[in-house]
Amino acid sequence: MEFMQNILEYYDELFPVAPVQKEFYLQLLQTFQTPPKLLSIYCGSGSFEQVLARSGYDVTGIDTSPVLLESANRKRRMPGTSIRFFQMSTLEMTRFLGKSFYSVISCLNGRAAFIHDTTLLRKFFFDCRSLLTPGGALILQLPNYDYFSAEPSVELPAVESIRSKLHTRLVTQDDGSKYIVQQVETSSGRLVTIADREPVFPLTESRIREFAASVGFSHVTCWSGFDKQPFAPDLSPFLVCELR
């Protein structure tokens, strides 16, 4: 996604840390007896990771965008916090990160769908499990692709802030493969491209359960959001899953 420079100015306001998200993670992290360590995959500008670090947790963030990581590292100046960011893809995680080291691994804001190859997705789930401590949890947050299944194209819910709006269109091609087009609409009405025909894999609840079982996760819990309301495939626009 080479257009990340175009979203940098608006990133933190489009993806704020909601109180319900913070509470979800604080409750989860408090269930571990030993001091938990968290890995955030596709951490973006690092705002959420900073919140957890300021709450006393050890946090590692990885992303492939040098622009977003530069923003994340500029925020990393709070004394007494344990936080670091690395430019790294999901393919490289097990080469450079410690196995059986992280209590919680997160991949939020729909970013797991950009791992658009089934073989690489299975590797992603396998590698996440190998990086987790026994009893650790993988958290995924995605659009509910069962809900947004119209073809050949469908608009996903816009993400809005005071100054901008993020539009996402999911397109299905003749061969069944899918891609997204993302644009930020600025306060002046100008549309700025963020992702142009970026391939995605629609990770539905059933496919998540399939991948999870294939690599050894034994339990998958799904909700419609961080407030832990029940998930309904035909009714819930969003999906949050916890894999253990």
CATH code assigned to 4-145+201-243: 3.40.50.150
H helices present in 132-240, as ranges: 205-215
Name the strand (E) or helix (H) holding 156.
Answer: strand 153-160
**What pLDDT is stored for residue 85 in this prediction?**
97
β-bridge partners, 168:
156, 182
Q: Give the pLDDT score at 77.
A: 74
- Note the pTM of the prediction, 2 decimals: 0.96
Asked whether the predicted pLDDT for residue 105 surpasses 80, the reply is yes
Secondary structure letter of residue 239 according to DSSP: E
Report the distance separating Cα 93 and Cα 87, nearest Å: 10
**pLDDT above 90 covers what percent of the chain?**
92
CA distance 91 to 88: 8
Instruction: Determine contact, residues 29/57, Cβ cutoff 8 Å.
Output: yes
Q: What is the DSSP letter of 232?
A: -
pLDDT bucket at 4, cuts 50 / 70 / 90:
confident
Domain ranges in the chain?
4-145+201-243, 153-200
Q: Other CB atoms closer than 10 Å to residue 153's CB: what's the count?
A: 13
